[in-house]
Amino acid sequence: MQFNAIQIAQIIEGVVEGNDAVQVNSFGKIEEAKEDQISFLANPKYEEFLYSTNAGIIIINNNQILKQPIKNTIIRVDDAYTAFATLLDKYQQLQIALLNGVEEPSFISETATIGENVFIGAFAYLGKNVKIGNNVKIYPGVYLGNNVDVGENSILHPGVKIYFDCIIGKNVIIHAGTVIGSDGFGFAPLADGTFKKVPQIGNVIIENNVEIGANTTIDRATIGSTIIKDGVKLDNLIQIAHNVEVGSNTVIAAQTGISGSTKIGKNVMIGGQTGTAGHIQIADGTKINGKSGISKSIKKPNTSVSGNPAFEFTGYMRSQSIVKNLPALEKRVQELEKLIEKLINSK
């Protein structure tokens, strides 16, 4: 798709300097961009490339001072980074909008309900009573079990698997390989040392405007629902166990594991490789550093914690400083012990 500088300026509310008829058809980094690409400058570290780039159009901040003439067309905006992100989003939306219709082979149950402007890729499977809202895009290899409901404008990338009875809200993006609604890890120990499986008969509810990264797993509830609330952003390779609730606008980084029945508040930030024990609560606004181990509830809102087991961040940093100095402290203790021994022996 071709776009000229005037069209782009209208989208990002910018002002064109230079040839407003120049056209571009893709995006490029400022140090590598070609004449048919658009780029941007937001970080001063890359300013040198402003004068050497081949990009056809460059988005820059209004307060950017040009230290020498440049041949490229410029679009000035209040915030170049945000403007470029807006442009990327618009471009992606246009690309997705082109997807329409049903590819073959695919299986769609006679009892499934399909909205308007829906794309269903090859080798997709839609079970009994599945409901698909308007403008949903289902990429190849997606599996939707019986009674799954997918809200409008949602995108299911290749290989997503959603088990029976699960509910996906509006404007949800689920990336490749993610599994929603697999059984929770429920086994009852028996007297002979074996384990009896506890049936997992609940479901998973994903609310609106959620994005879930690739190869993440969200287990169905034993009874009731595992719930991911509005605006949650999950990274790749996350495990969320049965009956967990994740509050609105919470973000969780990769390789984190949330154990069963844990309740996470809203606007929580959880770093990568964090482990959370089951049946605990994490208060609204909590910030958890990566590789932390959360063994008990965090009840005070807006708390920052770190470590394993995790505790208040300021205390954690002090303890790390002490640990770093332990060799020197050990040496001083040894010297003091020798001095005391000499004093005792001299009497």
Residue whose token pair is 């609204």:
284
**Which residue in 135, 121, 234 sits closest to 178, CA to CA?**
234
Measured between alpha carbons, how far is 3 from 95 in angstroms, rounded to an integer? 14
Residues 326 and 204 in one domain: no
Q: State the burial class of residue 239 (Cβ atoms within 10 Å of its Cβ: 0-12, 13-18, 19+).
A: middle
| pTM attached to this predicted model | 0.83
Residues 121 and 227 in one domain: yes
Residues 205 and 298 in one domain: yes
* Both tokens assigned to 4: 């000229």
Residues 62 and 181 in one domain: no
The overall average pLDDT reported for the chain is: 94
Does pLDDT of 274 surpass 60? yes
**Which residue in 52, 75, 63, 66 sits closest to 3, CA to CA?**
75
Residue 183: give its domain's CATH number.
2.160.10.10
Cα(first)–Cα(last) distance of the chain, in Å? 94
Q: How far is CA 325 from CA 158, 320, 329, 330, 338, in A?
A: 51, 9, 6, 9, 20
**Which residue in 6, 35, 153, 161 sits closest to 92, CA to CA?**
153
Structural domains of the chain, count: 3
Residues 226 and 117 in one domain: yes
Query: Of 97, 129, 154, which one is at a domain's C-terminal end?
Result: 97
Contact 16, 6 (CB under 8 A): yes
Query: Of 97, 127, 154, which one is at a domain's C-terminal end?
Result: 97
Residues 46 and 160 in one domain: no
Measured between alpha carbons, how far is 200 from 260 in angstroms, rounded to an integer? 12
More confident residue, 271 or 2: 271
Cβ density class 89-127: b for 16+ within 10 Å, e for less: eebeeeeeeebeeeeeebebeeebebeeebbbbebbbbb
Amino acid type, 87: L
pLDDT in tens, 6-27: 999 999 999 999 999 999 999 9
Measured between alpha carbons, how far is 24 from 178 in angstroms, rounded to an integer? 35
Residues 325 and 312 in one domain: no
pLDDT in tens, 204-245: 999 999 999 999 999 999 999 999 999 999 999 999 999 999
Residues 236 and 299 in one domain: yes
Residue whose token pair is 């945000």:
82
Residues 135 and 241 in one domain: yes
Residue whose token pair is 């571009």:
24
Does pLDDT of 332 surpass 90? no
Lowest mean pLDDT among 86-90, 122-126, 138-142, 322-326: 322-326
Does pLDDT of 347 surpass 80? no
Does pLDDT of 157 surpass 90? yes
Q: Which residue range(s) make up the domain with 334?
A: 320-347
Residues 334 and 224 in one domain: no
Give mean pLDDT, residues 295-315.
84
| Positions marked catalytic | 242
Does pLDDT of 137 surpass 90? yes
Measured between alpha carbons, how far is 225 from 242 in angstroms, rounded to an integer? 8
Residues 82 and 174 in one domain: no
Residues 134 and 227 in one domain: yes
Instruction: Assign 311 a pLDDT band (cuts: 50, 70, 90).
Output: low
Does pLDDT of 316 surpass 70? no
As a residue count, the chain comes to 347
Give mean pLDDT, residues 175-190.
97
Residue 20: give its domain's CATH number.
3.40.1390.10
User: Sign of torsion, CA 260 262 266 272?
Assistant: negative
Instruction: Assign 326 a pLDDT band (cuts: 50, 70, 90).
Output: confident
Query: Of 45, 76, 97, which one is at a domain's C-terminal end?
Result: 97
